[in-house]
Structures are given as structure tokens and as C-alpha cells.
Amino acid sequence: MTEKTVLNDTHRALGARMVDFGGWDMPINYGSQIEEHHVVRRDAGMFDVSHMTVVDLHGPRTREFLRHLVANNVDKLKVQGKALYTCMLNEQGGVVDDLIVYFLGEEFFRLVVNAATRTKDLAWIEQHARAFDVQVKERPDFAMIAVQGPNARAKVIGLLAEVDHERIGKLGKFAAAAAQGPHGMPLFVARTGYTGEDGFEIIVPQEHAVALWNALAAAGVAPAGLGARDTLRLEAGMNLYGQDMDDDVSPWEANLGWTISLDEGRDFIGRKALEAQKAAGVKRVMVGLVLDEKGVLRHGQAVLTANGNGEILSGSFAPTLNKAVAFARIPAGEPGDVRVDIRGKEVPVRVVKYPFVRDGKPCEGI
């Protein structure tokens, strides 16, 4: 049974092309994926991300529990509303999921986890929460709309109660706060995103989601589908769970070493495995590839290097760059001249440091 978000009828009324995404009936585009991509880079677009799973954690030992559950250190979260990107790992150091943790009070933290991993994540979180007596509460009563682009914040702030304009305008990156939206609707506004542009991800009670979507549309925010969301996040150098990392890939191998906090005396799940991997030398690394000639880089294509073969993880045409880019996992060490096997033909590619695009412009060396 395919699940539907509360905005499903709205997408269909807009003529969206719908696809199954991790068991959810979601809009891939509303006509032109390329145009939707460009509008986010140049102005403001909005995505229905209500399929994401919001999980609230309550209890006196919640911080202690999260110190154990995730690889990044929640002790970095000192100010109410601050957010942290992190991975949950298994005992082998593989990634169970990547998620965002919001600090809302000493006894109240909020997690936002991926849709496709919902059942696995909830079981994992609940299993480990018991020892800390932490209450795990999924929030299916919430919808979520991501508003992204250089003009996104101004357009959202214009819809908020006047009393909230200045406060939300000053909200720092990776921080969240409550605000009043159109007709007084309660919003949880986070300055986060998955596009490489500035903007907000807004959690809203389901019964207000359609009204919020319509108000954003009236304010000149263009609907954008999951197709554009994928090319935007790839250009921005952001991983997709299940494609770029999974239960058998460690953060070291997914270019997520920056999310690991090996602070003294904190025994998080997977730590011993990560330390052993690091000591032995990580065998596989994740790199960016750019194809300067015509052609498309796709998931699963073989990548030929001086140290043996790797493979393309996420790969796509990048509309901002007008060429194909990809993430690839290849053997560690100097790769030499790298080629990709495209339908039996070895095509040369450049290995680059990503992100490929930041704030609407190609990064240096891309």
C-alpha cells in the first residue's frame, strides 16, 4: 500500500508526475525538472518532504542516550533550537541512517530521519532507548515543506506573524524556532536544507499544510519535485542514504568523517569499529567526478583507477554546470587517470573535491 502525504491531492491538481519513492506516492516534477532546479538556484522553490519521519525524544536521560546513539556529539548542542547533522551507526561502523537532531530542551530532543528507513530507524532507536528510559514518539501528525533558494527566507518571513519577522530573520544556519504562520498556524521553522541554497524546512501540523503550501505559492514560491531535489543535493555535495552510504559503509568511506566526534570517554555505537578502521587505514574513499564531454554518469557504472575498480554512487546531469557529475567510491590512494565505463566505452573523468555548486555558483576547480 503506497502512502500519501497530506499534500497529495494538491500535487495532482498541479499536474505533477507522481512516482513511488520509498513506498510514498511523491511528485517527481510538475512539468520541467530542469526549470524547477533553476528556480531553486535563482529564486525560491518548495518541496513536499512530509514523507520524512519526525521523532520526538523525551526524558531526563535523553542527552545521555543521544551521546550513545549517534556518532556526532550532541554536547555541541547548547542553545535551544540548535541542530546537528549526524549518523547513527551499527556495531560494525556501518551507517544505519543519517539524520538531524534538534535540541529543544534538556528533556526534549527532536530527530528528523529518512522516509525509506523509517521502520528500521524506529526499531533501532526504540531498542536502544529502553536502557535510558527515553520515550520515543513518532509524529505522523506533522507535515513538512522545504522552501529553498536565495529568496526563500524573505518569502517565508513575509508570511509569518509580524512579531516573528525579526526573530526568524536572525535565525542562524542549522537552528530552529517556533513561529506563527498564516492565520496563526503554529510552525517549527528550521534554517536547514538539502539543496546547497539558503532557506527553511518547516514542520507544520498536517491540518495546516495545504493552507501553508497555497500561501507560499501565492507569495511566488514555485513547487519543485523530488527530481530537482536530487540534482540540487548532488550539486551541493550532499549524500543520499541507500545510494551513497548504507549499513555496510562507514562514514569514513562516505566522506562523512567530519560528522564523527571521537571525543574522550564517549562510547557511542560503532565507535570501536570506526577507530579500528582508521588505525588500519580506510580502504575505500568517496570522491567527486566531473565529465567534461557529453554523456551521463549513472549509479552503478564502473570507475577504473590505477588502484582497481570502483563504482558510481549518485550520478546525474547537473543543470547548474551543464555537464554530468557524480559521487564515486574508489580504492584509496593516488587514482591516476580515472575513466568511467559508459556502455563499454572508457570515458575520461576528472576527480574533484566537492561540493560542485555552492550558493548558486560552480565551486572553484569544477
Cα–Cα distance, 161 to 164 (Å, whole number): 6
On whether the CB atoms of residues 102 and 110 are closer than 8 A, the answer is: yes
Report the DSSP beta bridge partners of residue 316.
325
Task: Please give the helix or strand (H or E) that residue 125 lies within, else none.
Answer: helix 118-129
HSE toward the beta carbon, residue 20, CA cutoff 13 A: 4
The set of cell numbers assigned to 220 is 511566488
Provide the H-helix boundaries in 174-325: 206-218, 226-235, 271-280
- Residue whose C-alpha is closest to residue 95's, from 242, 193, 194: 242
On whether the CB atoms of residues 199 and 153 are closer than 8 A, the answer is: yes
275 is in an annotated binding site: no
For Cα atoms 350, 236, 42, give the angle at the middle one, nearest 5 degrees. Answer: 115
Binding residue numbers: 201
Binding residue numbers for substrate: 201
